[in-house]
Amino acid sequence: MGGGSANAKIETESGATGTYTFNVPLTLAKTNEINAVNGNMIFNSGSTIDTDGFTLQSWTSGGKQLELKGVISDSGGFQHKGGGLVILEGNNTFSGATTVEGSGGVLQIKHANALGTTGSGTTVSSGSALETYGSLGTVSEELTISGDGVSSAGALRNLSGDTTWSGAVTLGSGSRINSDSGTLTLSGGGVPVQTKFFTLVVAEI
């Protein structure tokens, strides 16, 4: 995916209401956007994505969903910048940073390595959320969170299952961590939450 001066895009067409499913591998030749702005999009396990050092971006509208089931690899990063839901399900090996930036945007992970290798970390901006789904085992990613998440449901939110977050969790501002069901354990090196003098609210629903 490349060409032209603007970012390359795979985008649902205007007025789309269904779900578009892909089974082809992708290689980025520049920053690429996958945009579920109308219908939903699913990239199955055969749709591996080689970032080739570029950033893979997602833009989803509120109420829309993008699922990436294939492995995302190489040295690029991942950015979720829309207001909908993106699900990462693969045993990903990309080494760049992960950011969740869109107001109302949710990034949900269903694998312990969904956020790639642990060298660059993950940042969740205020008004966005990172969700864990299922018993993932141990997630070693370093994480910085800000705010209460989407609808005050947690900037880091465990939807189900038992997961241990062993990477350091740092608060960029007053923040909330929720566990709706199951157990979310923060075990990052003896000082699991570095508050930076901000308030942390931890809740189990």
Q: Compute the distance between CA of residue 34 and CA of residue 86 in angstroms, rounded to an integer.
A: 10
Rounded to two decimals, what is the model's pTM? Answer: 0.93
Q: Compute the distance between CA of residue 23 and CA of residue 77 in angstroms, rounded to an integer.
A: 22
Q: What is the pLDDT of residue 199?
A: 63
Domain ranges of the chain: 8-204
Q: Quickly count: other Cβ atoms within 10 Å of residue 66's Cβ.
A: 26
Q: Quickly count: other Cβ atoms within 10 Å of residue 36's Cβ.
A: 27
Enumerate residues 6+ apart whose C-beta is below 8 A from 170: 142, 143, 144, 145, 193, 194, 196
Q: Quickly count: other Cβ atoms within 10 Å of residue 199's Cβ.
A: 10
Residue 145 forms beta bridges with which residues? 124, 171
Question: In 3-state terms, what secondary structure has residue 152?
Answer: helix
Q: Which residues of 99-112 are buried (b: 16+ CB within 10 A; e: fewer)?
A: bbbbebbbbbbbbb
Q: What is the pLDDT of residue 198?
A: 60
The candidate with the shortest Cα–Cα distance to 73, out of 48, 97, 98, 55, is 48
Enumerate residues 6+ apart whose C-beta is below 8 A from 29: 1, 2, 3, 8, 52, 54
Q: Split the chain (205 residues) into runs of 10 and give each run's mean pLDDT.
A: 80 88 95 93 97 95 95 98 96 98 95 96 97 97 95 95 94 92 82 56 68
CB of 130 closer than 8 Å to CB of 150: no
- Length of the chain measured in residues: 205
Q: What is the pLDDT of residue 191?
A: 43
Q: What is the pLDDT of residue 188?
A: 79
Q: What is the pLDDT of residue 4?
A: 72
